[in-house]
Amino acid sequence: MTVQVSTSFVVETALLGQGLVSVNSTKIKELWPDGALVTWLQKGRIKLGSIEEFLYYRDQNKSWRRLDGLTLYEGLQEGADGFLTASAAMVVAEDLGCPIVVSAGLGGIGDIIAERLCYDLPALAKIEITLVATSPKDMLDISGTIGWLHKNYVKTFGVGTEYCDGYVFVGQKTQLMQPLNCNELGPIVKGHNLILNPIPHGKRLQNPFYLREAIKAGKLAEQRGEHFHPAANRRLDELSQGCSSEIQLDSLIANIAIARSISVN
């Protein structure tokens, strides 16, 4: 499975592949930071490449799968095209010897059929890696998610804050282990680390009705045997007139900047 590319961090592609409903490829390429590499599965082979290469292939092929760290090997064996979640990107990064993975909305514990315990959490506990993300997704039990990580020896940090209080909505505060001064990011001790870089409150969605409707859409998708999060994102995008997609892309790009500001010793 090894891909011989040297990089200090890799970016997952589940959000880029399925979550940014109202943001086209041209916009993503315009905003994307130079040199930030993404990882995906292409005809059963792990790819690590530029955003241009990924988007070109994404737009030419429609039969993509959403792969996590548990289903990645199945996709390899079946020669699939696949968007990689944070946990799948962590598996790839471990194989590369790459110390940092970048994501946006994190999986966790919640009332989602395929994610009673999203594999993002066990992957963080098993793989010695630093994951830079925004927050567990809003429809999850964020307090329970952070609590599970602490019980399983994953260190949690907040950029400019000691709390996690939601993803694209403002929710209840959950205590993290340690705040990080956003102006003094530097060495992070190698280990099982989660660095959360929250979206500023003023940029988050304000209408809780949107979240309730997104959850309903995700549940209907589950009943059809489909994934929850892409359907929830589509509904959220529709209700917010594209704002949810823009917020999430901006957050992913901000997390890349954090990944570039830290080093893992």
Q: What is the pLDDT of residues 169-211, one digit of tens each?
A: 999 999 999 999 877 788 888 999 999 999 999 999 999 999 9
Question: What average pLDDT score do residues 158-176 get?
Answer: 97
pTM for the full predicted model: 0.94
| 113-158 pLDDT tens trace | 767 799 999 999 999 999 999 999 999 999 999 999 999 999 999 9
State how far the Cα of 131 lies from the Cα of 255, in Å rounded to an integer: 10
Structure tokens at 72: 């990645």
**One-letter identity of residue 78:** E
pLDDT of 7? 84
DSSP class of residue 201 equals G
Residue 83, judged by CB atoms within 10 A of its CB (0-12, 13-18, 19+), counts as buried
Residue 129's SS3 state is coil
Residue 1 clears pLDDT 60, i.e. is over it: no
Of residues 76 and 18, the one with the higher pLDDT is 76
pLDDT of 50? 97
pLDDT of 53? 97
Residue 121 in contact with residue 144, Cβ under 8 Å?
Answer: no
pLDDT of 228? 86
φ, ψ for residue 17, nearest 5 deg:
-85, -35
Domains and CATH numbers, the chain: 9-206+250-264 (3.40.1790.10)
pLDDT of 114? 66
| 211-264 pLDDT tens trace | 999 999 999 998 998 888 888 989 999 999 999 999 999 999 999 999 999 987
Strand partners, 131: 101, 194
State how far the Cα of 217 lies from the Cα of 230, in Å rounded to an integer: 9
Of residues 5 and 187, the one with the higher pLDDT is 187
- Strands 174-175 and 163-164, how do they pair? antiparallel
pLDDT of 229? 82
pLDDT of 183? 78
Residue 108 in contact with residue 142, Cβ under 8 Å?
Answer: yes
Question: What average pLDDT score do residues 21-33 get?
Answer: 96
pLDDT of 264? 79
Residue 235 in contact with residue 213, Cβ under 8 Å?
Answer: yes
pLDDT of 4? 53
Question: What average pLDDT score do residues 44-69 get?
Answer: 94
